[in-house]
Amino acid sequence: MAPTVSALDTTETTRRPFSGRRVRFGDTLLRVVAGGAALGAAVLLGLIAYKLVQGAHLALSTFGLGFLTHNIWDPVHLHFAAGAFLFGTVVTSVGALILATPLALGIALFLSELAPSWLRGPVSALVETLAAIPSVVIGLWGIIVLVPLMHDHVDPALHSVLGWIPLFGTSTSGNNYFTAIVVLTIMITPIIASLSRELFLGVPRELKEAALGLGTTRWEMVRGVVLPYARGGVAAAMILGVGRALGEAIAVSQVVGNGTFIGANLFQGGDTMGSKIATEFLNAVPPMEPSALIYLGLILLVLSIAVNLMAQLVVRRASRRLRG
């Protein structure tokens, strides 16, 4: 037939280090394996959601959405609802956000604008360290040190000064919402602070210098240039902080006490969804109680996904606004 032509072809291909078929096979293999791993992550996420819905199915079909609004947790008569724990979760997370935000922004401003350069490195390292301390250690400190301190000194002092506000009622035990708020504040402040610090440092220097050149004081520069520039990112950092606080189970369960209390008084013990799962899950009597606890977990999952998407949305909108 045409042996000469094919001989010419072989010399051409053998000269190249990799022949066509092997190239395509290797590339396809790596693409498929790596793509499979990426797909695996998505499948994992789906599987987590599926398993939680499956586990909560019994409670979902028995209590429906009324689970969210009623307030009862009665393992004896098998009647469960999440009201008090939803309340506890929201109160402690929002309370922690209210305490942590000014603190974190102050630290971030200090680190990005005020601190002398020799202090910047050590203080930011300390803030990162605080973020790395495991929740169970903060909880240990909470049980042994913070709870008695709050009960003996802080709670009575706040009650005597601010007792006319219903939030600061009488305190019967140091294991209460307010102690949980303090613990959560310690946990989320470094997160918000270090994210905000990076945002503040990312503000273009010429914008800051332009403001200062117009004769503004440092605070006016921060208020007029730095804060507007970083607003979206700071909001996202706050949302991420709340997300972390919502899902924290261990440290909160160690200091929040227990019960199904709903009311204005922060010095009452209660439970959050996370702490309820952490303390009850292994002792729960099947089939209904574990299912109800998994329902709590499902609510947490939905909340955490919603919070994450919200943060992404805020960041995307802010970056679009900055690009103009």
Partner 1 sequence: MSATELSVFGRPNDRLRRRRRVNRVIELIAWLAAAVGVALLGVLVGYVALRGASQLSLGLLTKPQVPYALTSVSQGLANAFVGSLVIVGIATAMALPFGMLIAIYVSEFAPRAIKGFVGLVLDTLAGIPAIVVGIFVYGLLVVGHGQSGLDGSFAYAIIMLPFVARSTIEILALVPSSLREAGLALGAPRWRTTLGVVLPHAIGGILTGAVLAVARVAGETAPLLLTTSIVGQGIAWNPLHAMQTVPVAIYELADSPVPSDHALAWAGAFVLIVFILIVSLTARWLAGRSRRKLTGISR
Positions 108 through 147 that interact with partner 1 (CB under 8 A): 109-111, 113-115, 123, 126-130, 132-141, 143-145
Encoded one letter per residue, x for contact with partner 1 by CB under 8 A and - for no contact, window 2-31 reads --------------xxx---xxx-xx-xxx
Total residues contacting partner 1 (rule CB under 8 A)? 92
**Candidate segments 152-160, 184-192, 203-211, 261-269, binder of partner 1 by CB under 8 A:** 184-192
Q: According to the binding rule CB under 8 A, does residue 33 interact with partner 1? A: yes
Close Cβ partners of 200 (under 8 Å, ≥ 6 residues apart): 108, 109, 111, 112, 113, 226, 230
CB-based contact 108:294 (threshold 8 Å)? no
**In sequence order, what DSSP letters do the residues of 82-151 get, joined into one string?**
-HHHHHHHHHHHHHHHHHHHHHHHHHHHIIIIIS-HHHHHHHHHHHHHHHHS-HHHHHHHIIIIIHHHII
Is the CB of 114 or the CB of 264 nearer to partner 1? Answer: 114
Which of 54, 69, 170, 319: binder of partner 1 (CB under 8 A)? Answer: 54
Two tokens at 154? 């802080």
Is the CB of 1 or the CB of 38 nearer to partner 1? Answer: 38
Encoded one letter per residue, x for contact with partner 1 by CB under 8 A and - for no contact, window 269-308 reads -----x--xx--xx----------xx--x--xx--xx-xx
Residues 207-246 that bind partner 1 (CB under 8 A): 217-220, 222, 240, 243, 246
- At its nearest, how many Å lie between partner 1 and the CB of residue 160? 23
Is the CB of 133 or the CB of 264 nearer to partner 1? Answer: 133
C-alpha to C-alpha distance for 267 and 176, rounded to whole angstroms: 5
- At its nearest, how many Å lie between partner 1 and the CB of residue 39? 9
* Residue whose tokens read 């402690």: 92
C-alpha to C-alpha distance for 155 and 160, rounded to whole angstroms: 9
Q: Using N-to-C axis directions, what is the helix angle for 20-63 and 288-323, rounded to 10°?
A: 120
Q: According to the binding rule CB under 8 A, does residue 199 interact with partner 1? A: no
